[in-house]
Chain A
Amino acid sequence: MTRRRRTVALAAVPVAFLLVFFAWPLAAILERSLLGEADGEGALDVLTRESTLEIAWFTLWQATVSTALTLLAALPLAWALARFRFRGRSLVEALVLVPFVLPTVVVATAFVALLPERVERSVWAIFLAHVFFNVAVVVRVVGSFWAGLDPKLGDAAATLGARPAQRHLRVTLPLLGPALASAASIVFLFCFTSFGVIVVLGGLRFATLESEIYNQAARLFDLRTAAVLALVQLCAVALTVLVSSALERRLGVRVRRGRTAMPPVGRDRVLVTVVVGLSTALLVLPPLALVLRSLRVGDGHGFAHFRSLAAETPALLVEPWHAILNSLVFASAAAVIALAVGIPAAVVVARGRSGVDALVMLPLGASAAMLGFGFLLAFDERPLDLRSSPAIVPVAQALVAIPFVVRALVPALRAADVRLREAAAVLGASPGRVRRELELPLLARPLAVAAGLAFAVALGEFGATVFVSRADWPTVPVAIFRFLGRPGESNVGTAMALCVVLMGLVAAVALLSERSLARRATG
């Protein structure tokens, strides 16, 4: 009874936030689109069009393959980072986050420069880019959970004669179930709703539901078609969330606190070196191409493009460095909102409320264009006249960041061991001491991961931000986009310099959160 009431009270924060800033604007645009004019095709006609089916099928299979490939590519690195301590580990962990914040246009430029022309406009380019972008999610979400697993189980299996492969397949993989389901669902959603990668790297031959919704809504202004497709996408996302949260629950296991990571020895040492070396090389290549490009000035090299961050430019109403400040302020505010909404949501979800889970995840599945249109319709009057207020930017970014907070926290919350707490209580620990010494340390890592992801997502967010940002308050991704939209070397160069700054910011924040964690663990 009291527990139930507490759950409801906790749920109130995320539900209220999402109702006001997500459900309401979305309802406004859907109502306008579907009930606005009676003429034209009915919703059913849109659904049964051949092109709709083609697009839906492509969306589904490319997302499935991309997710599988991302898991395959990321798990070895997650293992190495979770299990072992080695020099440069926190640097690698920080680097993994970098691709995640890069605007698609920019990554696409790097890919075009790196990929052979045959691959450039094929579905393989799409897969590669999806893997590159999403490796961070798997490494972070699965890795932080993996680090909390008790390696003794694997050791026991080894003592009983299990070979390493057997041990991973039979013991570790099942234990990782909930985190895998969590990470896979978010990667799947990301690829399912992919937009920039499809448009830039796929050329004109590929379309996902998301890119088609944008096309229909923003460009062709066929709101009815856009709305029907948006509903299809929302349903698919809701279904994915329900399936994955059922999986997470079913696979959920109680975990004891793992032993701290050890330096690798023997065979592990070789394996870790190979895995970390290879993954890092692949992750670093595109950003490195960007760094080199930001330093190329005419036929030589230099820092001219970085100096122009302080110069007035026709591409923006303010000097480019303002965008860096704006981004930091907006992303911090967005991360705070995302944590304030996401933490209670995660607790409620961990208690088995999959309704809240679906609601929290849905913004990932809503087309940014439709939501942007919804904002225009819904927030036109006081007290929420936000259509031209900069305050709407962190709110829009938080909508995208909240799912990451929830996904990063839920597996750890579910895994928190009741027996551990009870044992401590039996041994005479006060409830306060139990919290301080048992539960918070268990959650500290996932919390830091959640905060880091939320900040990174907000920092790199473009689709929703560009819709609501004001010209005198550009963010870094918006500024990059504006510079890339103009001919001339120093425009492209300044865009590249801003990319490098963006990458640096994310890496720095990731490093800092790692450091503070390490200090807390030892101090």
Chain B
Amino acid sequence: MTTLGTISHKLVRTRAGLVAAVAAVGAVVGIGVAAGCGGDEAAGPTEVVLVTHDSFAVSKDVKAAFEAESGLRLRILQAGDANETLNRALLTAGDPQGDVIFGIDDSVLSRALEGDLLEEYRPDALASVVGTYVVPYDRVTPIDHGEVCLNVDRAWFADRRLPLPRRLEDLTDARYRNLLVVENPATSSPGLAFLLATVARFGDDGWQAYWRDLRTNGVLAVDGWEEAYTQQFSGAAGSPGKRPIVVSYATSPAAEVIFAAKPLDVAPTSAIEDGCYRQVEYAGILRGARNEDGARKLIDFMLSERFQADVPGSMFVYPVREGVELPPAFVEHAIVPEDPLALPADDVDENRDRWVDEWTEIVVR
């Protein structure tokens, strides 16, 4: 018998080895059991599965209310941003990971409708949704809207007696040199929204010149929102950042107040009304859902007053339902842009890749 053989046998024979071996077998069996117990279909489905993005959130009591009303457990799977979530769904189209997908936004809507991904469903509650957000497709239901806006660090500008930028054009002014940080539209959802805002504003043949000017004026482009906001933006509490203008959301100033470590009267940041871009988020029933009936119940619930009122506090976006009251922090510190920029979904889908490529040429190379 060789040394190595001895060692391996010894490992299994010693108590520690035995424990490890038993535990390993137990773990593997456990996986099998857990897999086998995934919902007893003979007794009808007992759960409904929501596939969504990283930013999805719901209050505990609201989730519990749905579960009590429907008698179904709500399971939530989240990974990646809106685009990545849709791609995962497209990969498993027809044999989906869950029953409902939430978080399809305008910039990917046409791709979601193109693929044979979603079932038709038109909830009755659609009647109480503000007209602006209703789309002529029966396969998606609008749930919320959020606006991507420039945010500024108010103290930074006050200290230097520099006026806050008011319009997109101001950002190309030499006074605002090296102050702006944006996200890469190829990899970030707010980054793409801001690029689309400039396209909507300056036109398909005018936005390039604007970005060339931004580049000359020292715009910094980073990979994602986390790097831009928590690392480069000076206005985020505790950030080491040095740039006082960032692409974020209309609600970010309210979040700074709500999540301040010590109570604040005034938000340290504010959103700039000009250049905001609207994103509506939709939900849909995945074709091949195991629990289609539960899926309908979930979408109905997402349009209910209870869920819609929870949307600002949980996800920091706005409800699409008419007459839902906003929490006070949002009324005071956030803005609801009156007339945000927007582009038709088809337009975005047709040109998105070209725009992003051109943007990369202009800003990165």
Residues on A facing B (Cβ under 8 Å): 3, 6, 10, 32, 105, 108-109, 112-113, 117, 199-200, 203-205, 215, 217-219, 221, 223, 293, 296-299, 304-305, 312, 314-315, 317, 333, 336-337, 339-341, 343-344, 347, 350-351, 372-373, 376-377, 380, 382-392, 394-395, 413, 416-418, 421, 431, 434-436, 439-440, 443, 466-472, 481-482, 484-493
Contacts and interface: CB of A to CB of B under 8 A. Distances in A.
A297 B91 contact: no
Nearest to B83: A219
Contact of A219 (B24, B186, B237): B186
Given A312-B60, A373-B91, A439-B7, A218 B80 contact: yes
B6 interface: yes
Given A339-B24, A485-B54, A490-B261, A317 B231 contact: no
B43 interface: no
Highest count of chain A CB atoms <10 Å: which of B87, B224, B260:
B87
Contact of A391 (B31, B56, B230): B31
Contact of B92 (A205, A340, A376, A443): A376
Contacts of A298: 237, 260-262
A355 to B, nearest CB: 17
B57 A113 contact: no
A219 B226 contact: no
A376 B96 CA distance: 9
Interface of B: 1-8, 10-11, 14, 20-21, 23-25, 27-28, 30-32, 34-36, 38, 49, 54-60, 63, 75-80, 83-84, 87-88, 90-92, 95, 97-98, 184, 186-187, 221-227, 229-232, 236-240, 242, 248-249, 252, 255-256, 258-262, 313-316, 360, 364
B27 A314 contact: no
A275 B308 CA distance: 59
Contact of A416 (B4, B32, B80, B184): B4
A336 B360 CA distance: 46
Contact of B5 (A6, A373, A383): A6
Given A204-B184, A219-B84, A388-B77, A347 B24 contact: no
Contact of B27 (A105, A205, A337, A380): A337
Contacts of A394: 27
Contacts of B5: 3, 6
Contacts of A491: 255, 259
A469 B76 CA distance: 10
Given A312-B60, A385-B35, A386-B35, A373 B88 contact: yes
Nearest to B257: A488
B54 A440 contact: no
15 contacts: A3-B1, A108-B227, A108-B231, A204-B360, A218-B87, A314-B313, A337-B24, A344-B8, A384-B32, A389-B31, A391-B34, A416-B7, A471-B75, A489-B260, A493-B238
Given A221-B87, A380-B95, 7 more contacts: A108-B227, A314-B315, A347-B4, A395-B31, A418-B2, A487-B236, A489-B238
Nearest to A109: B231
Given A218-B80, A305-B261, A336 B23 contact: yes
Contacts of A317: 57-58, 60, 63, 76
Highest count of chain B CB atoms <10 Å: which of A109, A218, A394:
A218
Contacts of B90: 221
Contacts of A488: 237, 255-256, 258-260
A297 B238 CA distance: 9
Contacts of B88: 373, 376
Contacts of B7: 347, 413, 416, 435, 439-440, 443
Contacts of A376: 88, 91-92, 97
A112 B10 contact: no
A481 B237 CA distance: 17
B42 to A, nearest CB: 14
Highest count of chain A CB atoms <10 Å: which of B10, B20, B24, B236:
B24
A431 B57 CA distance: 61
Contacts of A223: 91
B4 A351 contact: yes
B323 to A, nearest CB: 23
Contact of B236 (A382, A386, A492): A492
B79 to A, nearest CB: 5
A372 to B, nearest CB: 8
A297 B21 contact: no
B79 A440 contact: no
Highest count of chain B CB atoms <10 Å: which of A215, A384, A434, A486:
A486
Contacts of B87: 217-219, 221
A417 B90 CA distance: 56
B76 A470 contact: yes
Contact of B238 (A293, A315, A418): A293
Given A218-B87, A298-B261, A315-B57, A484 B3 contact: no
A295 to B, nearest CB: 11
B24 A418 contact: no
Contacts of B78: 471
Highest count of chain B CB atoms <10 Å: which of A109, A204, A482:
A204
Nearest to A343: B11
Given A298-B260, A333-B27, A314 B8 contact: no
A470 B259 contact: no
A339 B11 CA distance: 11
B224 to A, nearest CB: 8
A340 B84 contact: no
A68 B204 CA distance: 48
Contacts of B256: 487-489
Contacts of A390: 34
Contacts of B260: 298, 488-490
In the A-B complex, the 5 residue pairs with the smallest Cβ-Cβ separation, listed nearest first, are A488-B259, A340-B24, A489-B237, A471-B76, A113-B240
Contact of B97 (A315, A388, A431, A434): A388
A481 B81 CA distance: 12
A493 to B, nearest CB: 6
Contacts of B236: 487, 489, 492
Contact of B35 (A204, A350, A384, A486): A384
Nearest to B31: A391
A461 B20 CA distance: 22
Given A434-B6, A484-B230, A489-B261, A383 B36 contact: yes
Given A340-B24, A382-B35, A314 B59 contact: yes
A492 B95 CA distance: 37
Given A314-B314, A391-B30, A485-B55, A350 B4 contact: yes
Nearest to A481: B54
B27 A487 contact: no
A109 B222 CA distance: 13
